[in-house]
Structure 1
């Protein structure tokens, strides 16, 4: 399937996402803050990044902005999964370059569906 980076400082959420996506057959790496996410993404090899916004070191939005400014990461698919649910939060995440935006709490089936669609777009950019 896909190689996915998951970045969330909330251990429970991170473990739920890992368990579900591993069950879906994805290869996963999980980190606890935005700086670790940025370093992992720069090392390369990911098809998708799932980022919380409110993390230590760098926010998810800062990671998105850095990815979009980095030629090798500009096309990386990014799903924001965050508790920030106000309209301006969603618009800000998408404007920064996130491909999709999900708010917490979320259904695991919805997460699988979003990931599947983003991974399909990555494999077939038409």
Structure 2
């Protein structure tokens, strides 16, 4: 087993997409936990203590916009890197995500290799110097 690159919380209400992302990141050396919507993400975030969260936008109970906003405004989670993954590709959506303070924005369908590179870059940037 290789060195652990970082911890990722994968949040998506679509189980197939959630598992696709989780498997790809696990194979690349990440420790991956999953959540099925925004509220489940907020319920688990402190327990998981992720370096990066991949976050779908369109979800029941609490969407990705609200989840990202809550993560950013909570001092205990504001440092976590957030990647929004969404089918919403309009410029207004990108601006909204950047306004909230997300670290990256990826549109569906996405290239798993691109997602892995984004998460890797964010996770290693998030690691404090020894």
TM-score (norm: length of structure 2): 0.91
Q: Which residues in structure 2 correspond to 1:12-51 (within 5 Å)?
A: 12-43=16-47, 45-51=49-55
**Runs ≥4 residues deviating over 4 A:** none
What is the alpha-carbon root mean square deviation over aligned residues? 1.3
Distance 1:32 1:109, change over 3 A: same
Task: Give CA-to-partner distance per residue, 1:79-125, whole Å, 9 cap, x none.
Answer: 01111111101111111111100000010110111011111110158
Task: Give CA-to-partner distance per residue, 1:20-77, whole Å, 9 cap, x none.
Answer: 0010011111111111011111435111111000011111111111111111111110
Picking from 57, 67, 82, the partner of 1:63 is 67
Aligned-partner Cα distance in 1 for 2:49–2:118: 20
TM-score (norm: length of structure 1): 0.94
Aligned-partner Cα distance in 1 for 2:19–2:99: 28
Q: Which residues in structure 2 correspond to 1:1-126 (within 5 Å)?
A: 1-43=5-47, 45-124=49-128
Q: Is the 8 A contact 2:56 2:64 kept in 1?
A: yes
| Residue-pair matches, total | 125
Q: Secondary structure at the match of 2:92?
A: helix
Q: Secondary structure at the match of 2:106?
A: strand
Contiguous gaps of at least 5 residues in structure 2: none
